Amino acid sequence: MPSSAKKLVNWTPTDIKADMLAKYPPKVARKRASQILVNEALGNETPEISANVRTIPGIITMRGCTYAGCKGVILGPTRDIVNITHGPIGCGFYSWLTRRNQTDASAEGAENFMPYCFSTDMQDQDIIFGGEKKLQAAIQEAYDLFHPKAIAIFATCPVGLIGDDIHAVARKMKAKFGDCNVFAFSCEGYKGVSQSAGHHIANNKIFSEVVGENDAEKPGEFKINLLGEYNIGGDGFEIDRILKKCGITNISTFSGNSTYDQFASAHKADLSAVMCHRSINYVADMLETKFGIPWIKVNFIGAKSTAKSLRKIAEYFGDPGLTARVEEVIAEEMPAVEAVIDDVLPRTKGKTAMLFVGGSRAHHYQDLFAEMGMKTLAAGYEFAHRDDYEGRQVIPGLKVDADSRNIEEIEVKADEQRYAPRKTSEEMAKLEAAGLKFKEYDGLIPDMDHQTLVIDDLNQYEAEKLVEIIKPDVFCAGIKEKFSIQKLGIPMKQLHSYDSGGPYAGFQGAVNFYHEIDRLVNSKVWSYMKAPWQENPELSATYVWE
């Protein structure tokens, strides 16, 4: 019998939670209990979850570090900035090209430094005597070799511990070069409880050092920034294809397939559309405060969500031509999507999924599964904050803990010359009255069914326990989880790297995803997980001479 056929019948989510906690010492169990929630969201009553807190030492978390969030996630996908890791070579090497953020450097004269790994390769003597001179030499060498528009420096743990002043070095080199922006990120791995702190540090610096640097007018109509889209597996290419077809101009993506100039020109857009709220909401807020650009939450994961997001953008601009064009594009794209849904639905309907990914995908991908008639039984983020679970209305009440205090708060004010509200307050009020919500994200919990499980910072032990009890038809997480889950006989789809697949965003991406999940959940290979002698220990044999 395939493992997926053995469904849980007698477990309630409350039992499952109790079973997951049973093995922990009381103090650990108490802490984890506040991060494991049986969803009982009702109307405006969203239950509270504990999130963005330290992982208990000894627990094998799925999280990454602050350096990963800053250097890897936010700045990694920008092709024409030289990114130098100040630290031991391992930090640079292992963070180099491991995320499948694609870029298109085919245009004439386009620079692409992403295939290079830049590191100061700190040694014992640099730790003892300081690494600033070495950093300065590395910046000079990168400048001499490549003459880039910008050089970014990323601190790893030892840099913070020994106290190298990377910002002073950056300022000195920037002044020396004159034609190359040099800036540094204090994103030591230990700075926060996860990569989330790295996003915040990256957002602050990129906003204060780069955004607004290029005041040249950008051509095109209906100018938007696409924030929190990282072009994993080509997602950004598909979204750009759709936006272009609709006649919407994408000034700047943070940061998939991006360039330095896109960041520098982001203040020229008239709307920010936010995909991954967790990683980039800081930039969206700062663009509004400083330049008057409103932001809305969008989601291009799922065909229906893509159509909805396009309609939201059109609604904002309120141009009849754009609205008509968006409807035409949706009408053109949907038949191909629906044909594939009709094909896979008889095989995927009623199947179940679990999603434990970063800070936004565990939510966004539920839309794709819903389109396939699949139910999400349990989901959670690695490092999101309470607002990503419960909605942004909780932000004013969030506690600032010791870890968040490590992150520099920057003060952003309206720009004296360049602040220009894109809509009058009456226009904004009218749009809001018509249902367009600004600066709003409702989070994952209200979107999930009752009696599902919402779990923050799921760990290796709990993941295996959940899979053993619930036996979902597919489990979605990352490479660290992939093989331990597959060993339990459950197909596993990586939703960080997409394994080697993608794109999964937009209309064509949805089609790719339906095919991939259909293939995974209907594969017969999982029924052969047990060797014949494991299934039937009494297996007998006879000797040939008998």
Residues that bind ligand CFM (CB under 6 A): 69, 73, 99, 195, 228, 230, 232, 276, 278-279, 357-361, 496
Q: Which is nearer to ligand CFM, 361 or 375 (CB)?
A: 361
**CA 262 and chain centroid, separation:** 20
If you ran DSSP here, which 8-state letter would residue 213 be given? S
Q: Which is nearer to ligand CFM, 4 or 262 (CB)?
A: 262
If you ran DSSP here, which 8-state letter would residue 109 be given? T
At closest approach, how far in Å is the CB of 66 from ligand CFM? Answer: 11
Q: Which residue has the tokens 């989880």?
A: 481
Q: SS3 of 416, please?
A: coil
Q: Exposure of 58 by Cβ count < 10 A (0-12 exposed, 13-18 middle, 19+ buried)?
A: exposed
**Count of H helices and E strands in the chain?**
21, 14
Q: Which is nearer to ligand CFM, 158 or 198 (CB)?
A: 198
For 75-131, where are the alpha helices, taking DSSP H only?
Answer: 89-94, 124-129
120-127, long-range: CB < 8 A, 24+ apart: 120/84, 120/85, 120/86, 120/87, 121/88, 121/89, 121/92, 122/86, 122/87, 122/88, 122/158, 122/159, 127/158, 127/162
Which of the following is catalytic: 32, 63, 79, 199?
A: 199
At closest approach, how far in Å is the CB of 383 from ligand CFM? Answer: 7
At closest approach, how far in Å is the CB of 243 from ligand CFM? Answer: 18
Decide if 477 is catalytic.
no
Q: What type of residue sits at position 53?
A: V
Q: Exposure of 6 by Cβ count < 10 A (0-12 exposed, 13-18 middle, 19+ buried)?
A: exposed
Q: Which is nearer to ligand CFM, 278 or 423 (CB)?
A: 278
At closest approach, how far in Å is the CB of 76 from ligand CFM? Answer: 9
Decide if 418 is catalytic.
no
Decide if 65 is catalytic.
yes
Cα–Cα dist 259/110, whole Å: 9
Could you tell me which of 290, 282, 289 has the C-alpha nearest to residue 407? 282
503 prior amide bond cis, ω within 30: yes
Which of the following is catalytic: 29, 54, 99, 167?
A: 99
Which of the following is catalytic: 41, 68, 138, 378?
A: 68
At closest approach, how far in Å is the CB of 361 from ligand CFM? Answer: 4
Which of the following is catalytic: 32, 41, 63, 65?
A: 65
Q: Which is nearer to ligand CFM, 4 or 299 (CB)?
A: 299
Q: Which is nearer to ligand CFM, 182 or 455 (CB)?
A: 455
Cα–Cα dist 223/489, whole Å: 48
Q: Which is nearer to ligand CFM, 148 or 358 (CB)?
A: 358
| Encoded tokens for 411 | 């003060």
Residues 6 or more apart from 520 whose CB is under 8 A from it?
A: 474, 491, 493
Decide if 157 is catalytic.
no
50 prior amide bond cis, ω within 30: no
Q: Is 443 left (phi over 0), alpha (psi -120 to 50) or beta?
A: left
At closest approach, how far in Å is the CB of 228 from ligand CFM? Answer: 6
User: Across the beta sheet with 249-255, what order do the strands follow?
Assistant: 249-255, 223-229, 271-274, 295-297
At closest approach, how far in Å is the CB of 388 from ligand CFM? Answer: 8
- Residue nearest ligand CFM, Cβ-based: 358
At closest approach, how far in Å is the CB of 99 from ligand CFM? Answer: 6
Q: Which is nearer to ligand CFM, 247 or 478 (CB)?
A: 478
Residues with active-site annotation: 65, 68, 99, 199
